[in-house]
Amino acid sequence: MSETSVLIVAGPTASGKTELAIELARQFDAEIVGADSRQIYRGMPIGTAMPSLEQLAAIPHHCVAFADPHERYSAARYVADALSAIESIHRRGKRAIVAGGTGFYLRALVGGVALASQYDEATRARLAQEVRLHPPEFLHEWLTLRSPERAAVLQTSDTYRVARALEIALAPHIHARAGSLRTLATEGFGWLLAVLDVPLVELDARIARRCERMLDAGLLEEAERIGEDAVAANAVGYPQALAFLHGWSTPSELRASLERATKRYARRQRAWFRGEREAQWLAPDAVASAAREKLSWS
């Protein structure tokens, strides 16, 4: 299986995915394919906790920092881009490690969900009108009724992805067209989905330290430069930073709200991965052994 297998390192934010993936890539002569719906955007290294320049230079990374922050990007497009990167890596005689915390991207990549490569024009037009007429809470509640699992991992404020999920939920015939989309499953790849099992107390401490580092590194300046209109500006951290820049919070309130929002996001990620039947929850130091055993990596 080793020649056509993929190691997936997943888990909540601040669980150590980036550092572990780099360590494993060195150990197994691999390259890394990102699986983060915000790290795909250029010019947002602080708020998205993107790998540092040194880390990017140490190991080749793919699907990272290539899209404009104002650009719409879908899970279907991610799967196509990630598969292309994985196949290119394998052609060079390297192994592929997919690392990230966007659970829906990962489920789509392995073939656990139908994705629409096209869209229903009438349904999209209807939803565009609903977005104009109703607050985000209405749309999110609507999605909860139609697709509670998807709604559970989307922020209420993420109007674009909520509307896209509603579009798919309201147009079942789109799914019928999705069967031709390529995934790890359709292409015959084996994989191991390793979710990092970091104790919640430790995870919360990591999140607190990360939030401090982000503020010290210039999160406010980055958020101001990206602006409110960017698609990527609804990622955790940017709404809190923009609220502060508008004068709606104090420095201490900014720190508290940033930490609180990040912890909530991490808990949503943990809940998502708990629902993945094929996920193996592993301590970080056990992932290498699991790759050797399950994927025959040496």
Q: What is the pLDDT of residues 4-32, one digit of tens each?
A: 799 999 999 999 999 999 999 999 999 99
Query: Which of 94, 98, 111, 107 is closest to 2 using CA atoms?
Result: 94
Q: What is the pLDDT of residues 213-257, one digit of tens each?
A: 999 999 999 999 999 999 888 899 999 999 999 999 999 999 999
- Report whether pLDDT(283) > 90: yes
Asked whether residue 46 falls in the same domain as residue 107, the answer is yes
Mean pLDDT of 126-143: 80
Q: Confidence class of residue 178 from pLDDT cuts 50, 70 and 90? A: very low
Asked whether residue 151 falls in the same domain as residue 236, the answer is no
Number of separate helices (H) and strands (E) present in the chain: 14, 6
Which CATH number characterizes residue 66's domain? 3.40.50.300
The reported pLDDT for the residue numbered 124 is 76
Sort residue 188 into left (φ over 0), alpha (ψ -120 to 50) or beta: left
Structural domain that includes position 194 = 2-115+181-198+276-295
The model's pTM is 0.81
Whole-angstrom CA distances from 23 to 27, 28, 98 are: 6, 9, 13
Asked whether residue 190 falls in the same domain as residue 156, the answer is no
Asked whether residue 14 falls in the same domain as residue 84, the answer is yes
Q: What is the pLDDT of residues 28-81, one digit of tens each?
A: 999 999 999 999 999 999 999 999 999 999 999 999 999 999 988 888 899 999
Asked whether residue 29 falls in the same domain as residue 95, the answer is yes
- Report whether pLDDT(2) > 60: no
Asked whether residue 58 falls in the same domain as residue 185, the answer is yes
Asked whether residue 87 falls in the same domain as residue 192, the answer is yes
Asked whether residue 45 falls in the same domain as residue 103, the answer is yes
CB within 8 Å of 240: residues ≥ 6 apart: 249, 254, 257, 258, 261
The reported pLDDT for the residue numbered 76 is 86
Query: Considering all CA atoms of the chain, what is the largest pairwise distance in Å, rounded to the nearest integer?
Result: 57
Number of domains in the chain: 3
Which CATH number characterizes residue 248's domain? 1.10.287.890
Asked whether residue 185 falls in the same domain as residue 78, the answer is yes
The reported pLDDT for the residue numbered 170 is 76
- Residue 112, exposed/middle/buried by CB under 10 A (0-12, 13-18, 19+)? middle
Asked whether residue 7 falls in the same domain as residue 105, the answer is yes
The reported pLDDT for the residue numbered 154 is 84
Asked whether residue 163 falls in the same domain as residue 90, the answer is no
Asked whether residue 192 falls in the same domain as residue 205, the answer is no
Asked if residues 141 and 135 have their Cβ atoms less than 8 Å apart, the reply is no
Instruction: State the Rg of the chain over Cα.
Output: 19
**What rounded mean pLDDT belongs to the chain?**
90
